[in-house]
Each structure stands twice: as structure tokens, then as C-alpha cells.
Amino acid sequence: MYISTRGNHKPVTASQAICLGMVPEGGLFVPEQIPGLSMEEIRGMVDLPYPALAETILRYYLDDFSPEEIREATQAAYGTNFYHEDIAPVTVLEGLGAFLELYHGPTAAFKDMALQLTPRLLAKAMRKGESARELLILVATSGDTGKAALEGFKDVAGMHVACFFPDQGVSRAQELQMRTTDGKNTHVYGVNGNFDDCQNGVKEIFSDSGFNLALARKGWQLSSANSINWGRLCPQIVYYFYGYFSLVQAGRIAMGQPLHIVVPTGNFGNILSAWYAREMGLPIGKLICASNENRVLTDFFTTGHYDRRREFFKTSSPSMDILISSNLERFLFEMNGHDAELLRSYMQALGEKGEFTVERSLLKKMTDLLWAGSASEEEAAAEIRRIYLQWHYLIDTHTAVGAAVYDKYKAVTGDETPVVMDATASPFKFSKSVLEALDDAEMPEDLDELQIADALAVCTNTRNHPALEDLDRRPLLHERTIRMEDMQSIVEGITEGTSAS
Ligand SMILES: *Cc1c(COP(=O)(O)O)cnc(C)c1O
């Protein structure tokens, strides 16, 4: 069963948690108990191909799904939709570490790893409940989630997806990816605001009970594809097992040996999934939490004081430009021994004052297993250049933040434990920044980002990601940009068939 981090909801099944997305009264669903695996059980999974491994792991969590349902969903999600047969291949760079490439899905970012599966779980979960006829998925996106959700949900019967992204806050390729999405049930809007504004707008719509009741009367229900939905987090646990096993098979680590994980972090979903894998018994050592210049998490894990009242920086790793890391709530709840009352007080303070402080003992407990650091724009760019020059391996701007923070970790601690770094996006998704980093020079303003992708492919002799080719030749199907205040009425319009995007 799943319980609320704020103790304000009765326990629900996995399918209910997935349908609801978040706790309607505020709060997030977490598993009441995390399944613990023996080393024997873990060893038994070493050779499983990705879809079978996903099935095995998910069965521990999806309590009210049948094994057949889980198999169907995982086989479909990780069958033919990825551009790499290993789904999440690991590349080892001698003398540096390994990269877990999570970007071979249909939208070239790690969000596909979950979002190819979540809609299939959601469709099955909906059939279990007494639930609504039409489900509307609301997505606030800093770029990558949006497209991944649109691709995952498009043309799934009974589902609609509306995606809100910060206008001016995503890369050109990201914007084109979203605005060119086909499918009869997709809605895409630029919003005049930053990512936090989009996310807050969506959260407000979710927690407006009157509005939700009115939708329910019309047979509509809202849900979320953001990583606040357990159906997003849970599939991400799988690739940590897969990455670990790949390194065992490659003879890089022995079964049972600790492996550090480096995660370029935004909403704290990806790193939290690594924590769940660790709790289940996978021999993960430290979780290294990497932030860009929006270093609210680094400061928090250094001081115990979370303070969102600070300047918001637009960086070249936009999917990490976040000042409110939603999944931190889950981590705090787990680390403070499921003290929902304490959690409520933090979240209330965060909502009202924009800050909260945790006790020393809790901070210590967290930093015993998590190391946080941040990288500046210059440091991340230098890392792209260094890794390309030394290993002829291209990484994107987000992955670069992780790699740069890992350098700092090693410099500070001298720790030589084997490491795997999440490669969260294809470098071609952020070609302009990547090429500028390689050249150590600014691109002319008038060069189109898509031409730059071609240039990057040529100059590094690397193939562009297939999902990103031809982007500029697809028709723009969603051209609107809206005001923050209008998000709710747009949502209402979608349920009435009157909001074009
Ligand atoms: C979403 C995203 C992140 C941040 O992941 P979280 O789960 O939000 O911490 C990092 N890199 C890329 C490329 C992303 O799309």
C-alpha cells in the first residue's frame, strides 16, 4: 500500500496512487514498505534483459497489478521504442568512470525511461477503479518531461495530455519537439513564466477541490505525469539495477561491491529512484547529487536550510533549473522515519515563507549517504570539452554538471570507489551549448539550433539522435503561448473541447 508523506490520506493501492498522481490534499504517495531483496535474489537478476528486469522489479511495487499486466506493459514500453537494443547501455571511460546512457528513447532524454511505461500502467490502473471516463494528464515541464509525456500518452484511448512549458525557458529543439507533436489528444502551451511558475500552476489546479469536483461531474479526472507520480519514479529504479549489472558483466565491479551514483538533479526524482534501489539492497555507495547554478539542493544538504528565496538562473542545463525540488519531500519523509507531522511543518514553511530548516540529526543522516555539489556554467562546459578531448565521448550539458561535480567529489574526498554517472540527455538535444563548449566560443546568434546539431555531428563525427533529425521540417501544430493566470481556464477548455493549443 501507499501512504501520504503528510499523513492526510488513507493508504491506497499502487493503481490508486498512480491514478491520483499526488495526494489530493497535498503530499506525495510513497510505498508503506520498501521491498528488501536478498543478495541471492539480486544475483538472480544479473542476466535479465531490460524488459524482464523491469517486470521483476515492478512486481515488488505494483501490489494490485497482475503479473500479466506488468509483463504486457514492460514488454510494450521497452520493446521497440528505443534506439538502442540494451535500452540503457553503459559506456566505460577508462580512468574516469562509467556513464549510464538514459537517452536512447523516442525523445532523447531520460524521461523516456519512465514515460514509455507510465501511460501503460495508468491505462491499466484506470480500468481497476470506479474512475472517470476521461483522464487529463497535466504536465509542467522544463523541457524534457513534456515531450516524453506527449509521446508516451499520445493517442492512448481515454487519455489526454496538456503540457505547460516556460516560454523562453527551454531549448529550441525542446520547444520544436513539443510544438510539433501529433496525436489527437495532445495539448501544448508555452507559459509566460519560469518552470516553477508552471509547476505551481499545475499544483494549484490539482489542489483546487471545487474545480476537480466540477470536472468529475463531467466525467473527467486530472492526473500527473511529473515525477510526483509514483508511476514515474518506480520505473526509474530499474535502470540502477541494470547499470550495476552491466558493470558486473563487464568485469568492472564484483557483485556486492559498492558503486557510487552521480545524478544531475532537478526535481530530485532520478536520484530518489537510486535511493530506492539502494534501500532494496542494491550495493550502491554514495548518491552524488549534482546541481547547476540553481544550487538550492547543494546549499540545503550543506546547511540543513532549504531556501528558495534566491535568484533563479537560466542555465544551459534547463531541465535542472528548479528551485523547488518536489521529490525532496519523499526523501525527507523516508529519512525522518515517516514523521508526517514534521513533514507538514516543513512544507507549510516552504509554502508560506519559502524556506525551512531541518534538525542536525536528520541532516547528518542524509549526508551520510548523499554528497551534494554544484557546477557553474563554465565548469560544466569545461567538462564537456575535457571529456571529448580526452575520451572522444560527447556528453550533454546536464550530464556535464554531474561529471563536473563528480570531479569535485573526488578532489575533496580522494574516494576511488567505482562510479556510474547518469547521462540524462543526448548531447544533440543541447547542440548549441555543447558545440560552444567544445569550441570555447559563442555561436553566432543567427545560426539555427538544428543547423548547429548538424555541425556538431559533422565536427565530432558522431551521429545525431534519430529522434532529433528533421525537427525543423515537421509542421508546428501547437503555437500558443499563454499567461500563467490562464492555465486553469485552459484546462477547463480542454475538457469542453474549446482550448486549442
Ligand atoms: C529531468 C532532467 C533532469 C533532472 O531530473 P530530476 O529527476 O528532475 O532530478 C536532468 N537531466 C535531464 C536531461 C532531464 O531531462
Q: Cell 507520480 identifies what position?
A: 229
Rounded CA separation 20/335 (Å):
24
Nearest-atom number in ligand 1 for the CA of 267 is: 8
Candidate of 103, 104, 107, 110 to mutate for ligand 1, largest count of ligand atoms within 8 Å of Cβ: 110
Q: What is the DSSP letter of 425?
A: B
> Per-residue pLDDT tens for 111-169?
999 999 999 999 888 888 766 688 999 999 977 889 999 999 988 888 999 999 999 88
For the chain, 501 residues long, give each residue's pLDDT as a single digit of tens: 999 999 999 999 999 999 888 898 889 999 999 999 999 999 999 999 999 999 999 999 999 999 999 999 999 999 888 999 999 999 999 999 999 999 999 999 999 999 999 999 998 888 887 666 889 999 999 778 899 999 999 888 889 999 999 998 888 888 999 999 999 999 999 999 998 899 899 989 988 999 999 999 999 989 888 778 999 999 999 999 999 999 999 999 999 999 999 999 999 999 999 999 999 999 999 999 999 999 999 999 999 999 999 999 999 999 899 999 999 999 999 999 999 999 999 999 999 999 999 999 999 999 999 999 999 999 999 999 999 999 999 999 999 999 999 999 999 999 999 999 999 999 998 999 999 999 876 767 777 778 889 889 998 999 999 988 888 889 999 999 999 999 999 999 999 988 888
CA dist 47 → 60, 242, 252 (Å): 18, 9, 15
Give the residues across from 188 on adjacent strands. Answer: 163
pLDDT of residue 472: 83
Give the closest residue (by CA) to ligand 1 atom 14.
319
Give the closest residue (by CA) to ligand 1 atom 2.
319
pLDDT of residue 132: 67
Identity (one letter) of the amino acid at 357?
Answer: T
pLDDT of residue 72: 94
For residues 129 and 155, is the Cβ–Cβ distance under 8 A? Answer: no
For residues 343 and 23, is the Cβ–Cβ distance under 8 A? Answer: no
Pocket of ligand 1 (CB under 6 A): 109-111, 144, 227, 264-270, 319-320, 398, 424-425
Give the Å distance between the CA of 320 and the centre of ligand 1. 6
What grid cell was written down for 283?
Answer: 550495493
What grid cell was written down for 90?
Answer: 553503459
Give the Å distance between the CA of 179 and the centre of ligand 1. 20
Give the Å distance between the CA of 486 and the centre of ligand 1. 27
Give the Å distance between the CA of 229 and the centre of ligand 1. 15
Give the Å distance between the CA of 266 and the centre of ligand 1. 5
Identity (one letter) of the amino acid at 459?
Answer: C
Candidate of 320, 429, 430 to mutate for ligand 1, largest count of ligand atoms within 8 Å of Cβ: 320
Give the Å distance between the CA of 324 and the centre of ligand 1. 13
Rounded CA separation 161/153 (Å):
7
Nearest-atom number in ligand 1 for the CA of 322 is: 8
Give the Å distance between the CA of 109 and the centre of ligand 1. 8
Candidate of 107, 317, 424, 426 to mutate for ligand 1, largest count of ligand atoms within 8 Å of Cβ: 424
Identity (one letter) of the amino acid at 93?
Answer: L
The dihedrals phi and psi of 427, each to the nearest 5 degrees, come to -60, -25
pLDDT of residue 131: 64
User: Using CB atoms within 10 A of its CB, is residue 133 exposed (0-12), middle (13-18) or buried (19+)?
Assistant: exposed
> Per-residue pLDDT tens for 173-215?
889 999 999 999 999 999 999 988 998 999 899 889 999 999 9
Nearest-atom number in ligand 1 for the CA of 236 is: 7
Give the closest residue (by CA) to ligand 1 atom 15.
144
Give the Å distance between the CA of 84 and the centre of ligand 1. 20
Rounded CA separation 332/346 (Å):
10
CA dist 173 → 40, 453, 470 (Å): 45, 9, 11
pLDDT of residue 439: 84
Nearest-atom number in ligand 1 for the CA of 398 is: 11
Give the Å distance between the CA of 254 and the centre of ligand 1. 29
pLDDT of residue 171: 81
pLDDT of residue 347: 95
